[in-house]
Chain A
Amino acid sequence: MSNYKTVFFTLGILQIILGIFMLLPIIIQFFYSELDSSFFGAALVTTIFGILFFLSNLDHDKKLNLQQAFLLTSLSWLSIAIFGSLPFIFSNIEFSITNAFFESMSGITTTGSTIIPNLENMPKGILFWRAILQWLGGIGIIVMAITLMPIMNVGGMQLFKISNNDSSEKILPKSKEIAIRLIYIYFGLTALCAISYKILGMNVFDSMTHSMTTIATGGFSNYNESIGFFDSVYIEISAMIFIILGSLPFIAYIKFLSGNRGIFFFRYSNQNFHKNYSS
């Protein structure tokens, strides 16, 4: 009766997405002429694992019960951290497995602790991959906090249920629409942040990576002195603004953008929803 096919099916999808994102640093490597096989190899391994998980669980029943939601949450972070460490391991900078996994976990949990002593000498591809990990970790936690966490009754997160009659069987279809909107907003904020950094004096590469880690409130930087490297009041002010934007509940942005016209999923909501944006 309890089968975990949906859990592993979703994990497979996540790994395929991760594998696709691993191809992005190759573009950066191409521009800075430091091409090597590390990201391609890691992408290949991750995608193959993802496809195997995906295909072997095609006959899943599209439902998650409470137990499986917990399993999915933990396994997805763990598996992304494991596969996310592959580019570090495959690179030619001699990361030990511990270091690679630490860096990857620090990225995907948007922590921002680093084991790299000399960030300035790192290849741009690796720096870009760290930023991508944090960016994915940021959107991952938002989507999870809004879709899965309230159902899991974790530490009072039930207060943030979007609809009152959420039974765990019907998590997936409705949350898909919300998730897509969240991703748009997240992407838009990141782009705005990158543009403002670029205008205020960062180069294109720094503005891209820093904007990703700012919105994710992650904190990976390309320099040992972090934002202090730029020594610019304006960059710091815009970083503060975007950090605060990243630390507001994202559901409030959806509410704000769709106005009060009773747009699709808000009709499910009751006043429970209004608790969301005062916190």
Chain B
Amino acid sequence: MVYLILNNSSNLDIRSIFFNVISILTGTGYVNAQFDNWGGFPLLLFLGLMFIGGCAGSTTCGVKIFRIQILWSFVGNQLKKIIYPKGIFVLKYDKNPIDNKFVSSIISFIYMYLIIFFIITALLSLTGLDFITSISGAATSISNVGPGLGSVIGPNGNFSSLPDISKWILTLGMILGRLELFAILVLFLPSFWRN
């Protein structure tokens, strides 16, 4: 957002920057400008923003902020361990120590999120969509944002012209992302159905 305000090259007003960033970040998907015409970096920025999402226990989607916070402090601790191999660093979230099993489930969540994102991107491009449409379509469906990027499914575009098979893939992405991936994936484990 700061970058967009500073690099005000294409006569963007602060109002539309704020609005679109908040809307995409939280996975709402309201738009008031063609933000994909803002240039190369903003395009990438919006793609990244789509993943973040809001807080847990709200109506938003995406990776969710608490996971990113915990991942950051985890990475920070790993770095400290390199310098002080014998040090003990307790991972804290809001002043409470976090058990390692939470951290591992968060890391596996983020890992699966990226894997599924790439699989959906690949499947979409197999159905004949161009690169920017498939990558942003995958991001927008798994993070439940709404509009994608590019000329087809961009902010003022819509998904009607996509082939039917792409729509089904996107639908799958939506329900996977909405139900936090594992709630769906676990159903495909054979051991889930065994007693």
| CB <8 Å contact, A243 and B94 | no
| CB <8 Å contact, B102 and A111 | no
Say if the beta carbon of A259 comes within 8 Å of chain B.
no
A248 to B56, CA, bound (A): 8
| CB <8 Å contact, B59 and A158 | no
Q: How many A-B residue pairs have CB under 8 A?
A: 244
Q: Chain A contacts of B69 at CB under 8 A?
A: 279
Q: Chain A contacts of B160 at CB under 8 A?
A: 99, 114-117
- Select the residue from A217, A225, A243, A276 with max chain B CB neighbours within 10 A: A217
Say if the beta carbon of B118 comes within 8 Å of chain A.
no
Q: Chain A contacts of B64 at CB under 8 A?
A: 279
Q: Which of A262-279 contact B (CB under 8 A)?
A: 271-272, 274-276, 278-279
Q: Chain A contacts of B42 at CB under 8 A?
A: none
Given A117-B158, A156-B66, does the pair A74, B179 have CB atoms closer than 8 Å? yes
* Whole-angstrom distance between the Cβ of A129 and the nearest chain B Cβ: 17
A248 to B53, CA, bound (A): 11
Q: Which of A98, A219, A248 has a CB less than 8 Å from the CB of B167?
A: A98
Given A112-B28, A216-B59, does the pair A70, B145 have CB atoms closer than 8 Å? no
Given A158-B105, A244-B22, does the pair A112, B175 have CB atoms closer than 8 Å? no
Say if the beta carbon of B126 comes within 8 Å of chain A.
no
| CB <8 Å contact, B57 and A70 | no
| CB <8 Å contact, B144 and A111 | yes
Q: Pick the interface stretch among B3-11, B82-90, B127-135, B181-189.
A: B181-189
**Which B residue sits closest to A112, measured CB to CB?**
B146
**Which B residue sits closest to A155, measured CB to CB?**
B109
Q: Which of A234-279 contact B (CB under 8 A)?
A: 236, 239-240, 243-244, 246-251, 271-272, 274-276, 278-279
| CB <8 Å contact, B60 and A247 | yes
List residues of B whose CB falls within 8 A of some A CB: 15, 18-19, 22-23, 26-33, 53-61, 64-67, 69-70, 93-94, 96, 98, 102-103, 105-106, 108-109, 140-141, 144-148, 153, 155-156, 158-160, 164, 167-168, 170-171, 174-175, 177-184, 186-187, 192, 195
